[in-house]
Amino acid sequence: QQQVKQSPQSLIVQKGGISIINCAYENTAFDYFPWYQQFPGKGPALLIAIRPDVSEKKEGRFTISFNKSAKQFSLHIMDSQPGDSATYFCAAALTSGTYKYIFGTGTRLKVLA
């Protein structure tokens, strides 16, 4: 199956708090899991990505946690800031073959000042 399920649909967090967005996939052959950030009127921008051979990857305030057995991965935004307010998309891809992304449906994050 090719679906990637993303939750929650929307999220409101206080400034300084932790934002957590979850994704689940079905196809165990997927081996690349990126997160994209999209501001209104803009294209998605790559935030952070992980391969299934590691369980966690951290870049600044952004961390991906990956659970291969559960087929789930999540994005944690530490010390959330109003500037983080955007829509976040998870995706999954096969690095062999055509390498097209299967995107989740997106999470609209609002960080209150």
Nearer to another protein by Cβ, of 40 and 83: the residue is 40
Calpha distance 89→47 (Å, rounded): 10
Q: What is the dihedral of CA 97, 88, 108, 11, to 10 degrees?
A: 110
Nearer to another protein by Cβ, of 15 and 42: the residue is 42
Q: Please say whether the beta carbons of 45 and 35 come within 8 A.
A: no
Kindly state the smallest distance separating residue 104's Cβ from another protein, in Å: 6
**Binders in 55-94 for another protein, by CB under 8 A:** 89, 93
Nearer to another protein by Cβ, of 2 and 55: the residue is 2
Calpha distance 39→66 (Å, rounded): 25
Residue 104 binds another protein, judged by CB under 8 A: yes
The binder of another protein chosen from 53, 69, 95, 113 (CB under 8 A): 95
**Omega cis (within 30) before 8:** yes
Please give the residue ranges that form the binding site for another protein (CB under 8 A): 6, 32, 34, 36, 41-46, 49, 89, 93, 95, 98-106
